[in-house]
């Protein structure tokens, strides 16, 4: 299975710009033979739209979902994208995965909100999301979620071997893409795709450096600081030598009680 990963600037609240970027990405991804395109966190309407987020957020089955579904059908390519979801009086930082026919495969609400700005807008999610993607058990996390090892381990315990992660990681936090995402992948021998924004939005500069990390922690594809579309064939991970992969799930020991000082 081929995966396309978009790294580009935030649409900064301009929905015309956002949907044009999604359309172009799906077209290029489909032409490359990709079955799924991954885009960043809160791409609709844009991550750093603090004052407008609640007003712009849409419900599930609203106009955004309908337009995204239509674009997937038009290009014959799946899409995973972050967006602001309204559910009654609350707003979630959400991500939805569609297949190439525009059907919803999975929907997820960010569990680990980052900082007071996110906490002031969003309600945290309370459940994982898994689904089948071309025969691979797949899950969604969003940005800060993947930095918490216990979430990745919980998904691995559910049999997940691919995690798609829309993110909006700011500049100055390169350790996430350089070290934490590869470590999370290697710890449980799974693949993690981490799609970040780049450039600047309302004074916030994003770090780029999107990555697709394989089960051995090695990069299948990486981005620099600027706009790009990564394409990776995940079938390559099937050829990895099992002796090089982590055995933590087999070897883990849990201590009971407290250790003596």
Q: Annotated catalytic sites, by residue?
A: 41, 110, 143
Q: What is the rounded CA–CA span in Å between residue 41 and residue 157?
A: 25
DSSP character at residue 238: G
How far apart are alpha carbons 164 and 81 in whole angstroms?
A: 10
Strand-pair partners of 197: 8
- Token code pair at residue 16: 């015309």
As a whole number of angstroms, the distance between CA 75 and CA 114 comes to 34
**Strands 2-9 and 36-38, sheet pairing:** parallel
216 to each of 69, 151, 190, how far by Cα in Å?
A: 34, 19, 8
Cα 242 from Cα 110, distance rounded (Å) = 32
């Amino acid at each position: 299975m081929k995966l396309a990963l978009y790294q580009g600037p935030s649409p900064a609240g301009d929905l015309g710009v956002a949907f044009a970027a999604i359309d172009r990405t799906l077209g290029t991804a489909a032409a490359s033979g990709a079955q799924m395109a991954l885009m960043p966190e809160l791409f609709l309407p844009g991550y750093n739209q603090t004052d407008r987020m609640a007003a712009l957020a849409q419900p599930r089955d609203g106009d955004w979902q309908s337009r995204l579904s239509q674009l997937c059908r038009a290009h014959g390519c799946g899409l995973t994208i972050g967006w602001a979801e309204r559910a009654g009086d609350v707003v979630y930082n959400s991500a939805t995965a569609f297949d190439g026919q525009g059907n919803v495969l999975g929907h997820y609400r960010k569990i680990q909100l980052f900082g007071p700005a996110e906490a002031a807008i969003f309600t945290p999610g309370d459940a994982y999301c898994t689904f089948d993607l071309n025969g691979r058990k797949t899950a969604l996390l969003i940005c800060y979620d993947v930095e918490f090892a216990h979430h990745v381990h919980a998904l691995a315990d559910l049999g997940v071997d691919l995690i798609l992660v829309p993110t909006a990681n700011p500049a100055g936090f390169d350790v996430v893409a350089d070290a934490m995402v590869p470590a999370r992948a290697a710890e449980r021998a799974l693949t993690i795709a981490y799609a970040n924004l780049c450039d600047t939005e309302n004074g916030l500069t994003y770090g780029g450096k999107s990555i697709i990390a394989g089960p051995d922690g090695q990069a299948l594809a990486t981005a620099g600081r600027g706009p790009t579309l990564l394409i990776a064939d995940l079938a390559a991970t099937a050829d990895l030598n099992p002796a090089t992969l982590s055995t933590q799930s087999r070897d883990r020991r849990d201590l009971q009680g407290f250790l003596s000082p």
